Amino acid sequence: MLIRQIRAGAAVNAAGRRLAGPWGLAAQVGLVALAALAYFGVRGLTVSSYAVAESNARDLVAVQGTLSLDVEAGIQAAVLGHDRLVTLANWIYIYGHWPLIVATMVILYLRAPEPFRGLRNAMFISGAIGLVIFALYPVAPPRLVSLDMVDTVTERSSSYRALQPPSLTNPYAALPSLHVGWNLLVGVALWQATRNRAVRVFAVVMPALMAFAVVATANHYVIDVFAGAAVALAGLAIARQMAAERGRDAGARAHRP
């Protein structure tokens, strides 16, 4: 029995170590490159679909009206009168997404393989779900539909366009908001990886701040926020189920005589 337990533990540790080293890092970069190619493919399908994306956006606005969720204009109006709030929303939107995601994944890759793997897989799965939705149901963001909304990221900041030029973005990918969804996944991974109180507070607060930022900057509707969280959590649930199945398979192999 003891020998079998040691074998099972060795199998789990070996799975964790497979992330380390140059080949492991190269594999992660390759996976990201494949995901980027898929994103650009979807962008090519939707980049000329403004009429459809606008129509879908107006349908969403109508749905939000019936649910009393059409608060985007009010939130931005409250922010626009305060330059510091505009700057804060822009910085959260810009630096609280890809820079935060990349930094978190690098740290987790080096120090916490299991949370890294969970975050990576959940992002890939939820991203794949998001790409299907983007392709089948393109939605223009408020900044492109409503004359009352201001694109604060473009008009009051130059950092985002330097970090991510317009040619590399999908303008009709408002639904779901992966800005919110992936930040939620980062928060879950950070909570899982540490017991540090400050980091855990950050893990809880950052997704909420991003939800505020995507609406205040006129990049997403409120319903996009809920959809982004739902897609992200679905991706996380699927990733955890897959990990559990792999663990059972590894344990079964280790216990074979």
* Whole-angstrom distance, CA of residue 102 vs CA of residue 63: 35
Q: Which of 95, 69, 116 is nearest to 223 (CA)?
A: 69
Question: pTM of the predicted model, to two decimals?
Answer: 0.84
Helix (H) / strand (E) element for 109: namely helix 98-111
Asked if 87 and 95 count as a contact pair (C-beta separation under 8 A), the reply is no
Residue 233: both structure tokens together:
């959590």
Q: Would you list the domain boundaries of the chain?
A: 2-254
Q: What is the pLDDT along the chain (257 residues), one digit of tens a residue?
A: 323 332 333 333 344 445 556 677 677 767 766 776 676 666 666 666 789 999 999 999 999 999 999 999 999 999 998 999 999 999 999 999 988 998 998 899 889 989 999 999 999 999 999 989 998 999 999 999 987 899 998 887 766 655 655 556 778 889 999 999 999 999 999 999 999 999 999 999 999 999 999 999 999 999 999 999 999 999 999 999 998 888 776 666 666 66
